């Protein structure tokens, strides 16, 4: 389904920020240009032919031999509203995404998971992101259900503690609003597949605390191994911007990439230390961030000017979101 252009609004420490592909937005991502790409159909990808290397930090780095995420594969699509030049990652990351989506497709069906930005082909600063520079970061939208309870193409809508949200479409027109719900079973299975992928080694899942709680409750109600649940608990956290409209996944450096200067941000978990010891390598500390690594980030003033008039329901949601941005975590800290 072709959707009307829209702004995706988020708040950061009470400020209003916009990131969109809308042509009306002067700070928006440029329209995606067509690339010579072959959508992946029902065929097997030989991952051994790829040789990628993540270099330096997630927020100051580069990528050698970047692997493009397929524009489509079983259970997965790259967001058609995003720039396809920002869909490159390490082979470990791209393989993990493709295979996790395929698992959801096989076991639960439904519509594809929507993947937003990874990194540029050679890494480096990327507009609207403070990290995503070395092929190990990726933004993924939640699986979603429409008003009829059936799968619907995902959008960057934010969700409240009960898992409800709204696709506002035209921010000044309440008549086109579409009520949404997070598709918890499919979203959880995608996460489970990533967590249980020993070759991928996911490091952090940035997500709002209340959505972490919702997903954790679902996992505990199913036949999910204690080790998977324990690892999910360890790797999930809410950053200062709550990530209630998408996941931000970060993956550890592959052991052989560390030898070429790949550097992990904290935290470092016991299972990753064991993995590195078995590979005979030591984690490298983060390198000092260089001035040239800074990307263009949308300011509050730019975002508010671009947003224009907002209907009352949008304003109500923005006020509602402040509750989970400012509310202290009960016994938990924000992401480091």
Element (H, E) at 310: none
CB 312 within 8 A of CB 166: no
Q: Which of 105-114, 146-155, 292-301 shows the lowest mean pLDDT across its residues?
A: 292-301
* pLDDT tens digit sequence for 35-55: 335 555 545 789 999 999 999
Residue 292 DSSP one-character state: G
CB 63 within 8 A of CB 134: yes
Q: Is residue 332 part of a domain?
A: no
Residue 265's SS3 state is coil
Give the CATH number for residue 165: 3.30.1380.10
Q: Is residue 246 part of a domain?
A: yes
Q: Is residue 327 part of a domain?
A: no
Q: Is residue 125 part of a domain?
A: yes
Q: Is residue 98 part of a domain?
A: yes
* 124 has pLDDT over 90: yes
Residue 324's SS3 state is helix
Residue 47 DSSP one-character state: G
What predicted TM-score, i.e. pTM, was given to this entire model?
0.88
CA distances from 90 to 34, 78, 133, 135, 240 (A): 22, 16, 11, 5, 27
How far is residue 80 CA from its own chain's centroid?
Answer: 15
* pLDDT tens digit sequence for 204-225: 999 999 999 999 999 999 989 9
* 28 has pLDDT over 60: no
Beta strand spans in 31-112 (E): 53-57, 60-64, 67-68, 72-73, 76-78, 88-89
CB 169 within 8 A of CB 157: no
Q: Is residue 14 part of a domain?
A: no
* pLDDT tens digit sequence for 255-264: 999 999 999 9
What is the span of the domain harbouring residue 224? 45-297
pLDDT for position 260: 95
Indicate the number of domains in the chain.
1
CB 110 within 8 A of CB 183: yes
Q: Is residue 267 part of a domain?
A: yes
User: What's the CA gap between 99 and 44, in Å, rounded?
Assistant: 11
User: What's the CA gap between 190 and 275, in Å, rounded?
Assistant: 23
H-type helices in the chain, by residue range? 91-108, 184-195, 209-221, 226-235, 255-258, 270-279, 300-307, 312-326
* 17 has pLDDT over 80: no
- Identify the band that residue 100 occupies on the pLDDT scale cut at 50, 70 and 90: very high
Q: Is residue 324 part of a domain?
A: no
């Amino acid at each position: 389904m072709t959707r009307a252009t829209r702004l995706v609004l988020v708040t950061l420490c009470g400020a209003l920020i916009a990131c969109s592909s809308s042509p009306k937005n002067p700070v928006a991502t440029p329209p995606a240009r067509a690339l010579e790409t072959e959508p992946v159909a029902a065929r097997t990808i030989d991952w051994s032919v790829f040789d990628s290397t993540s270099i330096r930090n997630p927020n100051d780095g580069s990528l050698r031999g970047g692997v493009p995420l397929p524009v489509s594969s079983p259970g997965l699509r790259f967001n058609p509203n995003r720039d396809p030049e920002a869909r490159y990652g390490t082979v470990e990351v791209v393989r993990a995404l493709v295979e996790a989506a395929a698992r959801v497709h096989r076991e639960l069906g439904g519509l594809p998971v929507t993947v937003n930005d990874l990194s540029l082909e050679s890494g480096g600063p990327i507009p609207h992101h403070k990290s995503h520079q070395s092929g190990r970061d990726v933004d993924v939208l939640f699986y979603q259900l429409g008003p009829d309870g059936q799968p619907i193409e995902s959008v960057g809508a934010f969700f409240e503690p009960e898992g409800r949200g709204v696709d506002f479409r035209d921010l000044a027109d309440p008549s086109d609003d579409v009520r949404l719900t997070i598709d918890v079973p499919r979203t959880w299975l995608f996460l489970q597949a990533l967590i249980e992928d020993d070759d991928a080694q996911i490091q952090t899942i940035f997500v709002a605390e209340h959505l972490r709680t919702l997903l954790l409750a679902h996992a505990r109600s199913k036949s999910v191994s204690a080790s998977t649940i324990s690892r999910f608990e360890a790797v999930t956290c809410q950053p200062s911007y709550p990530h209630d409209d998408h996941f931000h996944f970060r993956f550890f450096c592959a052991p052989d990439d560390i030898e070429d200067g790949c550097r992990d941000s904290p935290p470092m978990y016991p299972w990753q230390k064991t993995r590195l010891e078995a590979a005979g390598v030591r984690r490298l500390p983060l390198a000092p961030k260089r001035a040239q690594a800074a990307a263009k980030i949308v300011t509050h003033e730019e975002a508010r000017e671009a947003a224009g008039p907002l209907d009352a329901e949008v304003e109500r949601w923005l006020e509602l979101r402040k509750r989970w941005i400012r509310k202290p975590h009960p016994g938990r800290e924000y992401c480091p």
